Structure 1
Amino acid sequence: MNFLNWLVLVLGAASATNAAGGAIRVVEDMRGLDRAALAADFLSAGAGSSGGGSGHTNNWAVLVCTSRFWFNYRHIANTLSMYRTVKRLGIPDSNIILMLADDVACNPRNHFPATVYNNAGRYLDLYGSNIEVDYRGYEVTVENFIRVLTGRHEEHVPRSKRLLTDDRSNILIFMTGHGGKEFLKFQDAEEIGSHDIADAIAQMFEKKRYNEIFFMIDTCQAASLYKQIYSPNVLAAASSLTGQSSYSHHHDMEIGTAVIDRWTYSNLETLEKLERQDKNTLANLFKTYDSSVILSDPGIRTDLFPRGIENALVTDFFGGVQTTELTLEMYKTSEKQKVLPADVKVEFDGRLSSAQKDTLLEKPRYKLKVVLPQTYLINVPFVLCFGLLLTGVVVAGSV
C-alpha cells in the first residue's frame, strides 16, 4: 500500500470515528461474494412466486389503437382504459408500449380539452397528467408495430420505445380499430394481416422474447386475426367471430360520439373490480362475456395455451410481478454459498452511549467489509500534521 492510499484510508476511518462519536470496527469478509450466484438464487425464488404457475418473472403490455379521426374516439378510449388498468394493477410505464394513432384529447372538436373519457358521466379522465405515449400519430404504423414485437429496431430508437422482454416475460397485446376478415386497418392507410401477426409472434418465440402471450383484439371479425397463429404459449381473445361486427357501447351527447366499445366495456366491468393480489382466473373473466349485451359472439382460442385458462390468473397478464418482500431480517443465502454470515461483529471503544450502540446494532440489512486496524483510528488533525511532516522529510531527502 503506497502512502497516498494509506492516507485516504486513514482519513476515511478518522471521519467515521468523529461522525459516530466512537471507534467502530466492523469485521466482515465479503471477498467470497458470488454476485452471479446471488442473482440466480433471487431469480429462482422469484420464479416460484408467480401466480398461477406461469413461471414468468416480468410482465409487459403492448397497447395499440390503430384508428385516426374524431369519430373513432372510442378506440382511443378502449386503449387508454386498458392502459389505466394495467398501470393500476402494477405494470410500470417502463414495461408498457402505448401506441395511439390520434390524439383526440387535443382535437379542436373536443368539448373537454386535454381529456378522454370512457363513460357518459365523465367520472374518470383517462388522459390525465400521468400518461406516457410511446408512439403517436403517424408513428403508429404496421412496420413499427412489427418492429416492437420482434425487437428489430433501427439503432436510433430509444429504449423507452422498445419491448425489452425475455423468455420469462408474459406479454399482453391489446389492439383496437377497424378491421375485417383477417386484417386490421392502420389509420385508413395500410393494413396488417393475420399472417403478419402470426409470423411476428413466431419470430418472438424463436428469439425467446416471451414466456406467454395474451392477444386481445377488439374490431369487426376480430377472431379471424388470431386464426393463423401457430406459436406455443399463446392465448387469444376477440370481440367477435368471423363474419360478425363489433359495436360501440354508448354515446356522450356533449362529446358527440361513442366513448367505448361493448367488448372492452365488458372486460372493464371485471377488471375494475380486481386488485393486485386477486386470484381470479381468465376462465372467470371469459365467463362474464354475455353475447346479448356485447351484440356479438366473443372468440377465445386456447389450443396453443397448454397451461389452461383455469390455471391462469388475470394478473398473470394484467398485473405487475412482485417478487420482493420487505423484511428486516438478513437475506438468507443457500447453504452451499455461505457468502453472507448470519451476524455482523461490531466492536466499540467504550465512548458510545447505550442508545448509540442500540441504534448502530439495530437489525442491519446489509453487511460491508470495513477492516481497519485499531491504531488507524486517530484524529484528523494528527493525520494532517503527520502527513505534512512526512512530506517535508521526503522533500528534504530528495534535495
Structure 2
Amino acid sequence: MTLYLQCKNPPISAQRHDVVLLELHQSGLQIKQNSSLKVDIQITGQFCHIVLMLADDMACNPRNPKPATVFSHKNMELNVYGDDVEVDYRSYEVTVENFLRVLTGRIPPSTPRSKRLLSDDRSNILIYMTGHGGNGFLKFQDSEEITNVELADAFEQMWQKRRYNELLFIIDTCQGASMYERFYSPNIMALASSQVGEDSLSHQPDLGIGVHLMDRYTFYVLEFLEEIHPASQTNMNDLFQVCPKSLCVSTPGHRTDLFQRDPQNVLITDFFGSVRKVEITTETISLDRDLADFESKLPRDEVATEPLKYAEQLPVAQIIHQKPKQKDWHPPGGFILGLWALIIMVFFKTYGIKHMKHVF
C-alpha cells in the first residue's frame, strides 16, 4: 500500500509536509502489514491530507471476522481503519511502475490531484514501507519487486527535479537496512527495523484469526508517536532509540550521513505533523500580477539565471554505442563432455583394442 499525505497550507517553517506509506503484500494473512501502515495513517493523518494506495484491503476481506475494521492490538480498542479512510490506489494499481511515477511526477496529465504527489523544494517527505523483503529488494504483491538501486535512483530524480527539501525514509521488513545502503542523494535520513541478515518479526498474535496483528518495530514506534503532540520538542535521536534489540529481537538501524542537519536538532513534527501559523490582518494587500515587474524587484541571487539541468536516468547514448564485450573462453559444458564420452565408448566397443593399430 502506498500513502501520500500532503498539507494544504505551509506550517511555521514555510515548508510542506508529504508522506508516502507503502504496504505491498497482497495476501489474506498479511494483516500485520496492513495494520502497521494504518497506524501511521492515524499518527500522521491528524495534521495532513492523505492519498492512499492499498495493495490488499483487509478491512473488506471476507475472512475478516469484524468487517470494516483493522485493529493494532489484540484488545481491539483502537480501530486504525477509521471512518475517513479514502483509498485512491488499490489492489493491482499498486505496482513498482506506479509508485516510481508518483514519486518522480511522471504521470499522465489526466491523473487527478488526489493521486499526485504535489511536492516541491519546500516539502518534507516521509516514506514508510512495510512488506516482505530481502537483501536489497522489497516485494510488490509477490509478482514484482523494487531494488535498493531503483529506489536510490528515484530519490535522485526527485532531488534533481526539486521535489523535496528533506526526506525521511522508514522501512519495516526483513533485512531492511539493505534498502538504504545505495542512497546517494542529499537531505535523506533513513531508518530500518532490521540489519542485513536479520528477520523483522511480528507482534500481538490474535488467536481468533490465527495471525499476528502488527510488526514489532511499528508497534513500538506507535507507542512512541502516540505521545507526540503538535508542539512537541522530541527530536529524531529519540526516535532512533524507540525499539532496542531487547524489544524488537532484530537490530534496528539508521543512516544520517546524507542529512545536512544534526538529528538532535530535527523535530519529530518536521515529518510527522506541523502547526500552521495563521496571521490575521485588517490591512488591504494589493497583489501585483505583473510577474516580470515582480522578478525585477527580487534580489539577483533569488532569480534563476541559468536553466535547470536534470540528470538522465540512464546513459542511453553510451549504452547503444558501446562496443560489445569479447566473450571469454570457457571449458565445454557437461553435455559436450558427455557426448564425447559416448562417442569414445561406442568407438572402443565397435573396434576394440586389437584394431587400434589399424586406426593410428
Which bin holds the TM-score, normalised by the shorter protein? 0.7 to 0.9
Q: Which residue number corresponds to residue 164 of structure 2?
A: 210
Q: C-alpha displacement at 1:155, in angstroms?
A: 2.5
Q: Distance in 2 between matches of 1:331 and 1:309?
A: 40
Instruction: Count residues in correspondence.
Output: 280
Q: Distance in 1 between matches of 2:48 and 2:287?
A: 34
SS at match of 2:177: helix
SS at match of 1:213: strand
Q: C-alpha displacement at 1:287, in angstroms?
A: 2.0
Q: Distance in 1 between matches of 2:39 and 2:209?
A: 17
Q: C-alpha displacement at 1:132, in angstroms?
A: 1.3
- Percent identity at matched positions? 47
Q: Given the alignment, which residue of 9, 14, 36 partners 1:78?
A: 36
Q: Please list the CA deviations of residues 166-198 of structure 1 after superposition, one character each: whole Å capped at 9, or x if unmatched.
A: 000000000100000000000000000000100
Query: Structure 1 residues 177-186 or 79-88, which shifts more?
Result: 79-88
Q: Distance in 1 between matches of 2:129 and 2:274?
A: 20
Structure 1: where are the runs of 5+ without partners? 1-42, 51-55, 340-399
Q: Given the alignment, which residue of 308, 324, 330 partners 2:282?
A: 330
Q: State the one-letter code of the partner of 2:210.
A: G
SS at match of 2:29: helix
Q: Which residue number corresponds to residue 207 of structure 2?
A: 253
Structure 1 residue 92 corresponds to structure 2 residue 52: no
Q: Distance in 2 between matches of 1:160 and 1:299?
A: 33
Structure 1 residue 283 corresponds to structure 2 residue 241: no
Q: C-alpha displacement at 1:338, in angstroms?
A: 12
Q: Please list the CA deviations of residues 305-325 of structure 1 after superposition, one character each: whole Å capped at 9, or x if unmatched.
A: 010210110010000351324
Structure 1 residue 157 corresponds to structure 2 residue 111: yes
8 Å CA contact 2:230–2:275 kept in 1: the answer is no
Structure 1 residue 116 corresponds to structure 2 residue 61: no
TM-score by length of 2: 0.75
8 Å CA contact 2:156–2:184 kept in 1: the answer is yes
Q: Distance in 1 between matches of 2:235 and 2:22?
A: 24
SS at match of 1:195: helix
Q: State the one-letter code of the partner of 1:66.
A: L
SS at match of 1:71: coil
8 Å CA contact 1:59–1:321 kept in 2: the answer is no
In our comparison, the structure showing a higher alpha carbon Rg is 1
Q: Distance in 1 between matches of 2:49 and 2:276?
A: 12
C-alpha RMSD of matched pairs (Å): 1.9
Structure 1 residue 312 corresponds to structure 2 residue 256: no
Q: State the one-letter code of the partner of 1:81.
A: V
Query: Against the structure 1 CA distance between its residues 338 and 195, is the aligned structure 2 distance closer, same or farther, given a 3 Å change threshold?
Result: closer
Q: Which residue number corresponds to residue 177 of structure 1?
A: 131
Q: Which residue number corresponds to residue 317 of structure 2?
A: none
Q: Distance in 2 between matches of 1:185 and 1:331?
A: 56
Q: State the one-letter code of the partner of 2:76.
A: R
Q: C-alpha displacement at 1:98, in angstroms?
A: 2.0
Q: State the one-letter code of the partner of 2:26.
A: R
Q: C-alpha displacement at 1:129, in angstroms?
A: 1.6
